[in-house]
Amino acid sequence: MKIRKEISKVKVIEEAEKEERERVKASLEKERFLKEDRESEEREAEIENLILELNNNHADIEIAKNKDYIIKIEGYGHEGEGVGKINNFTVFVKGAIKGETVKIKLIKVSKTYGIGKLLDVILSSKYRTEPICPIYKRCGGCNLQHISYEEQLNFKTQRVKDVMERVGKIEGLKVHNTMGMDFPYNYRNKVQLPVGNNDGNIVVGFYAPRSHEIINMDHCYIQSKIGDKVVKILKEWMKENKVTPYDEKNHSGVVRHIMIREGFKTKEVMVVIVTNGEKLPNIKPLIKSLREEILNLKSIIQNVNKDKTNVILGNKSITLWGTDTISDYIGEKRGGLISATAGNVPELMMGLWSIKYGMISMAKAGLLGAVITNMLLGLGIAVFCGGIKYREQKFNKIIARTNLNMLFLVMFTIIIVSALNRYSIVDNGSFQKISLIIGVVLICVYILGLIFSLYTHSNLFILDEKKMLPKNGDKNDTRKVFGLIIIVTILLYFISERLVGGVNAIVEEYKISQEFLGIILIPLLGSFGENASSIVCALENKIDASLETAIGSSIQITMFVIPILIICSSFMGFQVNLLFSTFQIVTMSIAMGMSYFVFQDGKTYWFEGALLIAVYLVVTLSYYYVV
C-alpha cells in the first residue's frame, strides 16, 4: 500500500515538473518571438528611414535610367509584377512582392512609369517562396511561382476588383475570393510552344520575357504532363528525320510551333504541328509514336503558316490522323445519367406490361437480352466499324474495368441465387424475399457507383458532350428537357402496352417461345438508339463514349431496372425473381467474358469487333433452334 502511494506521489511530482518545463518553454518561446518582433520592427523602421533618406536625396534630381533605388512595393501590376513609387513616380518590378522593400535598377523610364530590375530583397515578404521550376527566372511561360499560392489567389481577386473599378467604373462591387485548387500544377490544358534552333540544337519552349529567345525545356510544371511527352516525341522525330526547326530571321526551316490541347473532362488530346509549308517529310513515324505514347489521342493536325508573321496559326489545316476536333464539357455527368435513364425507359415499360400480362419469362429474358445485345452486337459493330476506319482505337482501361466489375457482380449474384435454388430447399415465399433483399443491395451498389463516377472520381469517367446538360444552363431549358422526358415516358407506357399485347397474340398464334422473343427480337428494338449512338461515337474515334453507352446501359438494366421490376412485381400479384435458366446464365457469362477479354488491354481492333458479332450470331442461332 505504501509502495503504491509512493509511486502515485512520484507520478504527481513528474507531472508537475513536466508542466513547469512546458510553461518555461512557452515563456522562452514567447520571449523569443517578442524579441524577433522588436528586431523586425526596428529593422522596418531603419528601412523606412533609409527609403525616406534616399528618396529625399533624389527629391530634386530627375529620375534617370540605370540608377539604383530602394523602394517599398505597395501593390501588383496586371501581370503580377510588384508596383512601387519613387517620389510619386510609379515603378514596375518583376519578381517583387507586395509589402517587400527592394533594391532596384531602373532599366526603362517613360513619362508616366518606369521598369526596375530587382537587385536585392532587403525586407522579404512572408509570401515569398522558392520557385519549383529551375528555369522560372528565364522563362516567360508563367510569372507567379515566386509568390505563395495563397497570395496568388489574393492577387487574382484584387485584379478582378481593380479592373471592375478602374475600367468598368463600378464602385463598391463585392468580389468573392478566388477559388483555389488542391494541386496548383499541371492544370493548363492548352499550350503553344515555338520551335527553334540554338547552336545546332533543336529547342522547344516558351519565349523569354519581352524576347523571342526560346528557353528550352524538358518539363513544365504548369502545363499538362501530356505536353512534355509530345515535346519529347517531336524532338526525337525531328532529329532522326533531320526535320529543321523554323528560323524567323531568314524565314527558313519546317516546324514553327507545336500546340497541344487536352479536354479537362474527356481527356481527349489534339496535337497541332504548325509548319512553314505543306511538305512534312516522313510523318508516319511521328504519328505512330504519338499514338503509342499518348493515351486518348484523338487528333493530329498539320497547320500551314507560310507568312512572315508572329501570328501562330495559318489559314490552312490538314488532318494527318483522327478527327479534326476534340470534345469537352463543363459540369458533371448528371446530363449523361438522365440520357442513360431515358434510354432504358422502354425496357422498364415493356417489363412492367409483360409482368401485368403474366409473361414473366419474356420480361426477364427481355432484360437479359438487352444486356447481351448491347455487349455483343452493338459494341461489336461499333468496334468493327471504328477499327476499319482507324485501324486501332485506345480507351481508358480504368473506366472499362470499373464498369465490367459491376456487371460481374450481377453475374456472380445470379449464379449464387441459381445455386441456392438448385442445391437447397427454399420455398417460393422465402425465395421471393431473398430476391427482394438482393435487389435492394444491387440498387444500393448502383447508387454508390453513381457517387463514384459523378462526384469522387468524376475525372475518370468520359461522356460525349452532346449528351450533357449544361450545369449552369438556362433553367427554363432544363425544365423543358425534364418535361419532355416525362411526356415521352407517358407515351412509351401506352406504346409498350400495345407492343406487349401484340407480342402476346403472336406467342399464342405462332407458338413462338417467349424466351426467344425476349432474348433476341425485343432487345433489337429497345436497344436500337443506344447501339446507333455507340456506332456513331466509334466512327468519330470516341471509343470511350461507345463503351459508356453500351456497358453503362447494361449496368443500369441489371442493377436498377431488374431490381425495380422485382419490387414492383410484389405489388402486382406476380413473383419476379433473380432465378434464370442455366442456358441464360451461360449466355450472359460468355457475353461478359468476351467483352472483358476484348477490352482488357486498352485497345480495340476491327477483328475484336468481328469476334463479338460472331458470338452474338451463335447465341441467336442457339436460341432459335434450341429454345
pLDDT single digits (tens) 150-161: 999 999 998 998
Q: Are 93 and 114 in contact (CB under 8 A)?
A: no
Residues 6+ away with beta carbon under 8 Å from 70: 47, 50, 51, 54, 101, 102, 103, 104, 122
Give the integer Cα–Cα distance in Å for 320 and 142: 31
One-character DSSP codes across 469-538: PPTTS-HHHHHHHHHHHHHHHHHHHHHHHHHHHHHHHHHHHH---HHHIIIIIHHHHHTHHHHHHHHHHH
CA 601, 603, 605, 611 dihedral sign is positive
Q: Are 109 and 63 in contact (CB under 8 A)?
A: yes
Identify the band that residue 260 occupies on the pLDDT scale cut at 50, 70 and 90: very high
Q: Are 362 and 499 in contact (CB under 8 A)?
A: no
The more confidently predicted of residues 581 and 489 is 581
Number of H helices, E strands in the chain: 18, 14
Which fold is adopted by the domain 334-625?
A: A middle domain of Talin 1 (1.20.1420)
Is 441 exposed, middle or buried (CB count within 10 Å of its CB: 0-12, 13-18, 19+)?
middle
For the chain, residues classed under CATH 2.40.50.140 are 68-166
Give the integer Cα–Cα distance in Å for 607 and 9: 84
Of 327, 320, 316, which is closest to residue 269 (Cα–Cα)? 327
Would you give the DSSP letter of residue 176? P
Residues belonging to the chain? 627
Of 612, 507, 556, which is closest to residue 345 (Cα–Cα)? 556
The more confidently predicted of residues 366 and 137 is 137
**Contacts by residues 151-157 (CB-CB < 8 Å, ≥ 24 positions apart):** 151/97, 151/98, 151/125, 151/127, 152/80, 152/184, 153/177, 153/178, 153/179, 153/180, 154/178, 155/76, 155/80, 155/98
Of 441, 422, 439, which is closest to residue 577 (Cα–Cα)? 439
pLDDT of residue 271: 94
What's the whole-number mean pLDDT along residues 493-505?
A: 60
For the chain, residues classed under CATH 2.40.50.1070 are 190-322
pLDDT tens profile 506-565: 666 666 666 666 677 777 766 676 777 778 878 877 777 777 777 777 888 888 888 888
- The top-level CATH class assigned to 68-166 is mainly beta
- The top-level CATH class assigned to 190-322 is mainly beta
Strand partners, 255: 245, 275
Phi then psi for 216, rounded to 5 degrees? -65, 140
Look at residue 370 and tell me whether its pLDDT is greater than 70. Answer: yes
pLDDT of residue 465: 38
pLDDT of residue 339: 47
Would you give the DSSP letter of residue 31? H
Give the integer Cα–Cα distance in Å for 139 and 126: 24
pLDDT tens profile 95-128: 999 999 999 999 999 988 999 999 999 999 999 9
